[in-house]
Structure 1
Amino acid sequence: MSVTTDYVATGGNRHPAAADWEPGLLAFGADNNVALWNPADPDTRGISALLAGHTDTVNVVKFFPPSKARKSSKTSSSIILSGSVDKTIRIWQRDQDVQDDGGLSPSFEQAKVITDHQSSINTITVLPGSDAFVSGSADGTLKIWKLNTESDIKVDLLQSISIAPRFLPLALALERLGASSLILAVAGTKSIIQIYVSKGDRFSLAATLAGHESWIRSLDFTREEDHGDLLLASASQDKYIRLWRIHQGKELPAASSATSDPALGALGKSLSNKAHRFEAQGCTHSITFEALLLGHEDWIFSAKWRRRDGAQCPLQLLTASADNSLAVWEADPSSGVWVCVTRLGEISAQKGATTATGSAGGFWIGLWSPSGDAAVSLGRTGSWRMWNYDGVSDRWLEHVAVSGHVKEVKGIAWANDGSYLLSTSSDQTTRLYAEWKRDGKQSWHEFSRPQIHGYDINCIDSIGNAQFISGADEKLLRVFDKPGAVAGLLNRLCGIQTATDRTLPDAANIPVLGLSNKAIQTVDDNDLGEDITNGQKDEREAINPASVVHRSTLDIDHPPFEDHLARHMLWPEIEKLYGHGYEISAVATSHDGTVVATACRASSIDHAVIRLYETKDWREIKPPLTAHSLTVTSLSFSFDDKHLLSTGRDRHWAVFERDDSQSSAYKLAASNPKGHARMILDCSWAPVDAGSVFATAGRDKTVKMWRLLDAGTTCVTSIPAASPVTAVAFHSTIADGSLLLAFGTESGQITINCLNVQTLEVTNSIPMLTSTAPSKAISQVSWRPLQQQPRLRSEGRNGGERRTEHQLAVASDDSSLRICRIHLPVNA
């Protein structure tokens, strides 16, 4: 038995320094992990691996470029530096002994942990061709390091600089000033930039640059041409970018025309062209203000110079702002004035957080590709967006990127036929993932964002193949219908048919200040979307542009980009279910789709009840079911819907049996007030003996198998685990005479077990490799329902060994969603 990973979805961390891009690989912080993704992958397979090691949010990710001396050595492989809120810097080195997994990405292993800083790591800068790097922390210190990779990785601390009562560093930039001297720019929670110059291995303060009016979030050096002047770009929360020129020689460079630009008006009077002089290597250098770049309407988080392949390429600067745009800046060849030549992202009136879907919340990261012909950005929703430059049309074209949740993934549910997967999270969104099939290629992507909410969403379950229900902290449950736009997209790109006798609405939107998705109809492209009621146009009613969707907007031939997901891929809400007094904790739908069971957080018997609702007319079936005294943690219907199983924090499990006279009514059939030594966190039914076998998972580090008999229940098997078990699930089919059981633990470990159908004893067990398992607690595991017979494959020489493949979805508190493939040998 073996396990491989088909798909990983996770969102990026909102920090300007939390990503870096080298040829063939982009690394970014994703919760407490470092995610690896190749944006240029022609198969668009997305995130290939998560590097686990940090214990808190990753703020900084930086590739360490090899120096010329070690490019030819065996240790010249990629090195990644990552800094985290956990106060550590970790060094990851490519594992030369591990082959790439299907060509997805290189494998990295943790080589070193640096624990010298006393607070969160905010920024790291490196210098190509050098062994030096500098880190800045919220403890108010800068540390200069030397990284030696000749044999084993060694790190030496060369200098520690305290800048603390003045400001905390948020941005660093390091560049070579001469043959043996380096220049370091430091900025952060003040409006000044400090310039340090090295003499030997020691840096000393050489100049302080003033001019910005708020915190500075990004710094980046470039050289105009070989042996030319250095340019420093600084991006600030004052909505401006400033360029500074570092010139060698006693004579000052030609005065910049920036201060005399009449377009600046009164602002131009505040632009100082004072020269800051300093000595380095016996030479005089000067720093002068070069240009002020205006155009962004909100904080600027990132400024990056384009890496130039040759001198003929003009200098270009990429900036990312909270106004939802990326801007490319270039100096006009005739006047020398810096102008914005390209703007990417959201260019609309719907900026800010006025509506749930009206804004991506700004761009926190902007990166050039190593070749300079592509750019990516990361927004508030954790999703990446990518644009490639097309030289033929002279346009930037958006391409498919990666997306995922940015907080704990709390619940997952497959469609009844296994055609797509739904997930929900504490980031207040619900997402739909499906497999894009084209030209012999297959890859998983996010195809819809059905729910964008104002409360944390705790649980979810499918109702058939065209509806789902979710429960949140708002004490009620909401039912959603698949819109026609999503059904059509899934049909075209994934081959998923939506069989329903109902007329599906075209799309949905969220009204301003509302939480309920409303169904809307699409209009033709030449239709302005006038509000027509009973055939009469009301000219007094202003048209809300968010309520108008043109058909061509939804007619796409690729997985939707982030702006489509956030605006046009909502599902209309058709029902609300009331009754609970506290936050919803669990929901389950019967396999025939006729009954929904729900529960809420509770500290007393009065609230620890299970409420049942009929899906036909959404009426509550009374009275509610009582058995628990504390929160019900999990609900599960048996495969024949004859029994309903519940588990709770009171260590209690209960089985309710369907009343033969009333198919939707259930009554208590069996219970055990001391099923586990500690609280029971999850449960699942086995597909055998007409619903008489089930499993429970507890904080007492065990999974227990129970058999329901006429004379009572008995615990048949107990499977020990290394840490508390938080999730458990049986496969819906019997594979080669065995039951498949998966369970996940609080430490992130996932174990696949084969059980004998008769005795329920474990016949085979395989833990998922630590390198591919989540780094935090597993919140739910769910087997994909088989759309057809399990796929048979022959492996080995002469096709000797036959194996079946099954897919398991895993949701974790590390904000990741994974789809794993389980390979099982078929017994002769």
Structure 2
Amino acid sequence: MNVSPAFIAIGGNRNPAAADWDEDGLQLLAFGADNSVALWDPQDAHLAGVCSILNGHTKPVNAVKFFPTRSAEVSILLSGSADNSLRIWRAHRQQPSTFTCLKTVSGHTGPITRIATLPGSDIFATGASDGTVKIWKLIHDAKYSSVDIHLSQTVTLAPKYFPLNLALAKLDQASIVLAVAGTRSNIQIFVSRDTQFELSATLTGHEGWIRALAFTRETPDEASDLLLASASQDKYIRLWRIHRGGELPATSSALNDPTLGALSKSLSNKAHWIESPSSTYSVTFEALLLGHEDWIYTASWRHRDGKLQLLSTSEDNSVAIWESDTTSGVWVCITRLGEISAQKGSTSATGSAGGLWIGLWSPDSNSIVSLGRTGSWRKWTYSARTDMWTQQVATTGHVREVKGVCWSRDGSYLVTTGSDQTTRLYAQWKRDGYSASWHEFSRPQIHGYDLNCIDVVTDSQFITGADEKLLRVFDEPKAVAEMLQKLCDVKSTATAELLDAANIPVLGLSNKAIQAVGDDEPIENDGDEREAVDSSSVIRKSVLDFSHPPFEDHLARHLLWPETEKLYGHGYEISAVAVSRDGSLAATACRASSIDHAVIRLYDTKDWLEVRPPLKAHSLTVTALQFSPDDKHLLSVGRDRQWVIWERSTEPSQYVLKHSNPKGHTRMILGASWTPLEQPTFMTAGRDKSVKIWQITDTEVLLKGTVAAAAAVTTVACSSRLHQDRILFMLGTESGEIGIGQAAKEALNKAEVTMVKAELGPAKTINQVVWRPGRAENEQQFAMVSDDSSLRLYDVFIENS
């Protein structure tokens, strides 16, 4: 059996330092994603999304930076994490997505917050929450076949402040300048003498913590002045000029700009003098950039088309490009991308995007990417023909633990749900001339509670359970059905008339159906004519007409599914849900510490009424539920270490206790799955590091086989068809290992399990594995979700024996 990754979806960490786009090397974009580093090629015409994930750090990755190799054949990546360690990774052109960890350094005693590199030099700097900045030298040969690291200096800033950002630049042939800033409003300038950096100047003027620093030369000429941009939580960007020689540069006209009004009092033209071994330099205030309405997180320079431009991102949901006016010299915002503040909305669910945290230029300077609160990337590309920046398809993913995943009945799309309080729908975009690529096509549920479990009722309806004691049922809206049919060739099987679209009312948790109207149709007011029409209760049809997978602003606002039912009855957080194979019953369970709460409730999906009485047998939380292939049995497993088989009684929707084993495993049972064998056979997965195979006879249940694992097994899933008279199953463990096993139906005690290579698996606990229905016998697919916030899809090619 050959297992290979087909698709990965993972969201980025909300940290301004946690992403970088390689300008030399392989031109990939790396970003911190939970405890890992994800690699993505935004310029890939096939839009394959994240190509690989590097595991190794044990806490969230805060800082990611490519080392400037000046070689197109090799990339060196530096990653710093909250586990206090710095890792160095290398990849070659032959295998661009295979990065190897060459070295792990634990020099800091606190989480690393920032990494700064210097093109044309082997020096780089790291800042950390231990209040120190460390200067390192990378020792390598010409082809980077061997790499080592040497600590040159430690600069202590604590207890005065903690470094949030660093910037390095070449001052002249003999010395380097280092700018450091962070949790106070000053910028410290250090200049190197021999190998040691000394504090030379302190720049004042900002009124908040400083979030971004960036150096550049004013023109491509190495002898031109250095410019330093500093961006702060005070909503302003300040530019500083570093000028060589004993004379001051011509005074900037920015100080006399009448538009600055009262601000001019805080603008000082005091010159700061710094010295390198070969020359004297002045540091003067150059310009104040106004325009952002909230904290500014990143700033980065670029020489584009002979002009110097500055890119900034802010909490106000915008990306701005600044340029100096050729006649007046005043810096103005020439392009603003992102969202207009008026669109923020009133609830955090579908309103405010929560700011744009990262902004990066592409290596060719004609694209920009930005990361927002929801973990999704946005990408804009410049068209010289129209002189416009247009938004393009980028990559999205969950930003917290992904708890549940299920396929639609026909296997045409999958739905995931997790602790970031969203439910996301992924499908394949089928385009002429390209291989089909996977994308997020809808965000059916944006919630106020962590979501724990999900299952589909029909191809156009699903049910989710959250930390809120009730379950919610969602129906596909017409807009999503039409989009999936147009872009993914998914035919809608809904029998009833579909609702147009949905939204979340202000301060609400329930998705309400809304109407879609044509662009030229008037919006009618159903109620009192004196009341204003609620603009959020209708949507223009043109907003829902897509020729490509939707962008993040549409996903977060316009592609919700209307909620049609709420299911009450449980007393605590919902822990498991399963829908029968014929779609007529939903079984649910909640967290429990007593027999009264550890009941399984059944709901009839026609009228969504509870089928009483609830099923009582477990004494602690039920962790997994599954109906047998013929719906004759319901299997439940729980933290009380027992499995229970319920059998359908003569009354159609009733199930009664048939078999139970209070000591099915020696530790809690976390996963369960039925096999496709004619003789009813099921599998259970436990914290006792084993998967057990059981077979039901007329009178009893026999243990047919045990599969041992290296760690606690958290989930097991059996394929719904036999493969050459063998059952095929997957198991996932608490440490992120994936095992793929098979056993002949006559010899279930001789199951063989092959472990998938560790680098292809997640870094944390696997929560659920599901096989894709309707696939060819020897070409299977399965989806897997994990606590490392990733959804992964794998192809399984089975060779004929």
> Is 2:186 the counterpart of 1:189?
no
* Map of 2:767 onto structure 1: 779
Instruction: Give the share of equivalent positions with the same residue, in percent.
Output: 59
**Number of aligned pairs?**
792
> Is 2:14 the counterpart of 1:9?
no
Matches within 5 A, 1:176-255: 176-225=170-219, 226=221, 227-255=223-251
Aligned counterparts of 2:648 and 2:252: Cα–Cα separation in 1: 83
Matches within 5 A, 1:115-154: 115-150=106-141, 151-154=145-148
* Map of 2:418 onto structure 1: 425
* Map of 2:80 onto structure 1: 83
Deviation readout 1:645-670 (Å, 9 max, x if unpaired):
000001010000001x2121100010
Shift of 1:624: 0.3
User: Which of 742, 755, 773 does residue 743 from structure 2 map onto?
Assistant: 755
Give the match's secondary structure for 2:166. Answer: strand
Deviation readout 1:420-455 (Å, 9 max, x if unpaired):
000001000000000111114200000000000000
Give the match's secondary structure for 1:771. Answer: helix
Shift of 1:278: 1.3
Aligned counterparts of 1:762 and 1:178: Cα–Cα separation in 2: 71
Give the match's secondary structure for 2:344. Answer: coil
* Map of 2:787 onto structure 1: 813
Give the match's secondary structure for 1:258. Answer: helix
- Evaluate the alpha carbon distance shift between residue 725 and residue 783 of structure 1 in structure 2; reply closer, same or farther with a 3 A threshold: same
Give the match's secondary structure for 2:692. Answer: strand
> Is 2:670 the counterpart of 1:681?
yes
Letter in 2 for 1:404: G
Shift of 1:762: 4.1
Letter in 2 for 1:825: E
**Ranges in structure 1 where 5+ consecutive residues have no aligned partner:** 791-803
Give the match's secondary structure for 1:493. Answer: helix
Aligned counterparts of 1:632 and 1:722: Cα–Cα separation in 2: 24
Letter in 1 for 2:308: L
Letter in 1 for 2:767: S
Greater displacement, 615-624 / 280-289? 280-289
Give the match's secondary structure for 2:798. Answer: strand
Shift of 1:759: 2.3
Shift of 1:353: 5.8
* Map of 2:728 onto structure 1: 740
Give the match's secondary structure for 1:191. Answer: strand
Kindly indicate whether the alpha-carbon contact (under 8 Å) linking 2:174 and 2:278 is maintained by their aligned counterparts in 1.
no
Deviation readout 1:584-608 (Å, 9 max, x if unpaired):
0000000111000000000111100
Kindly indicate whether the alpha-carbon contact (under 8 Å) linking 2:51 and 2:97 is maintained by their aligned counterparts in 1.
no
Aligned counterparts of 2:128 and 2:347: Cα–Cα separation in 1: 34
Matches within 5 A, 1:355-394: 355-394=348-387
Aligned counterparts of 2:46 and 2:637: Cα–Cα separation in 1: 43
Shift of 1:737: 1.7
Shift of 1:763: 5.2
Give the match's secondary structure for 2:165. Answer: strand
* Map of 2:347 onto structure 1: 354
Letter in 2 for 1:362: G
Q: CA RMSD in A?
A: 1.3
Matches within 5 A, 1:455-474: 455-474=449-468
Matches within 5 A, 1:218-297: 218-225=212-219, 226=221, 227-297=223-293
Kindly indicate whether the alpha-carbon contact (under 8 Å) linking 2:316 and 2:341 is maintained by their aligned counterparts in 1.
no
Deviation readout 1:769-793 (Å, 9 max, x if unpaired):
111110101000000011x543xxx
Aligned counterparts of 1:115 and 1:762: Cα–Cα separation in 2: 45
Kindly indicate whether the alpha-carbon contact (under 8 Å) linking 1:307 and 1:371 is maintained by their aligned counterparts in 2.
no
Shift of 1:147: 0.5
Deviation readout 1:533-569 (Å, 9 max, x if unpaired):
4xxxx44222333333111111111000000100111
Give the match's secondary structure for 1:17. Answer: coil
* Map of 2:488 onto structure 1: 494
Kindly indicate whether the alpha-carbon contact (under 8 Å) linking 2:346 and 2:506 is maintained by their aligned counterparts in 1.
no
* Map of 2:715 onto structure 1: 727
User: Which of 594, 601, 609 does residue 611 from structure 1 map onto?
Assistant: 601
Kindly indicate whether the alpha-carbon contact (under 8 Å) linking 1:753 and 1:762 is maintained by their aligned counterparts in 2.
no
User: Which of 652, 669, 687 does residue 663 from structure 1 map onto?
Assistant: 652
Aligned counterparts of 1:399 and 1:142: Cα–Cα separation in 2: 38
**TM-score normalised by L of structure 1:** 0.94
- Evaluate the alpha carbon distance shift between residue 231 and residue 550 of structure 1 in structure 2; reply closer, same or farther with a 3 A threshold: same
Kindly indicate whether the alpha-carbon contact (under 8 Å) linking 2:29 and 2:41 is maintained by their aligned counterparts in 1.
yes
> Is 2:587 the counterpart of 1:597?
yes
Kindly indicate whether the alpha-carbon contact (under 8 Å) linking 1:323 and 1:351 is maintained by their aligned counterparts in 2.
no
* Map of 2:39 onto structure 1: 36
* Map of 1:569 onto structure 2: 559
Deviation readout 1:164-218 (Å, 9 max, x if unpaired):
0110000100000001210000010000100000011100001000111111111
Deviation readout 1:583-636 (Å, 9 max, x if unpaired):
000000001110000000001111000000000100001110011100000000
Kindly indicate whether the alpha-carbon contact (under 8 Å) linking 1:410 and 1:812 is maintained by their aligned counterparts in 2.
yes
> Is 2:166 the counterpart of 1:172?
yes
Aligned counterparts of 2:523 and 2:83: Cα–Cα separation in 1: 52
Aligned counterparts of 1:92 and 1:543: Cα–Cα separation in 2: 57
- Evaluate the alpha carbon distance shift between residue 231 and residue 539 of structure 1 in structure 2; reply closer, same or farther with a 3 A threshold: farther
> Is 2:15 the counterpart of 1:18?
no
Kindly indicate whether the alpha-carbon contact (under 8 Å) linking 1:470 and 1:479 is maintained by their aligned counterparts in 2.
yes
Kindly indicate whether the alpha-carbon contact (under 8 Å) linking 1:143 and 1:159 is maintained by their aligned counterparts in 2.
yes
Aligned counterparts of 2:625 and 2:183: Cα–Cα separation in 1: 49
Deviation readout 1:137-157 (Å, 9 max, x if unpaired):
000000000001225211100
Give the match's secondary structure for 2:343. Answer: coil
Aligned counterparts of 2:751 and 2:401: Cα–Cα separation in 1: 33
Letter in 2 for 1:773: G
Shift of 1:411: 0.4
* Map of 1:708 onto structure 2: 696
Give the match's secondary structure for 2:287. Answer: strand
Aligned counterparts of 2:367 and 2:724: Cα–Cα separation in 1: 49
Kindly indicate whether the alpha-carbon contact (under 8 Å) linking 2:52 and 2:97 is maintained by their aligned counterparts in 1.
no
Shift of 1:122: 0.3
Aligned counterparts of 1:642 and 1:710: Cα–Cα separation in 2: 14
Aligned counterparts of 1:546 and 1:396: Cα–Cα separation in 2: 28
* Map of 1:439 onto structure 2: 432
Give the match's secondary structure for 2:665. Answer: coil
Aligned counterparts of 1:108 and 1:355: Cα–Cα separation in 2: 37
Give the match's secondary structure for 1:732. Answer: coil
Give the match's secondary structure for 2:264. Answer: helix
> Is 2:58 the counterpart of 1:52?
no
Aligned counterparts of 1:763 and 1:572: Cα–Cα separation in 2: 45
Aligned counterparts of 1:689 and 1:400: Cα–Cα separation in 2: 46
Give the match's secondary structure for 1:315. Answer: strand
Give the match's secondary structure for 1:564. Answer: helix
Kindly indicate whether the alpha-carbon contact (under 8 Å) linking 1:609 and 1:626 is maintained by their aligned counterparts in 2.
yes
Shift of 1:709: 1.0
- Evaluate the alpha carbon distance shift between residue 260 and residue 403 of structure 1 in structure 2; reply closer, same or farther with a 3 A threshold: same
Give the match's secondary structure for 1:78. Answer: strand
Aligned counterparts of 2:243 and 2:750: Cα–Cα separation in 1: 73
Give the match's secondary structure for 2:490. Answer: coil
Letter in 1 for 2:19: A
Aligned counterparts of 1:456 and 1:169: Cα–Cα separation in 2: 33
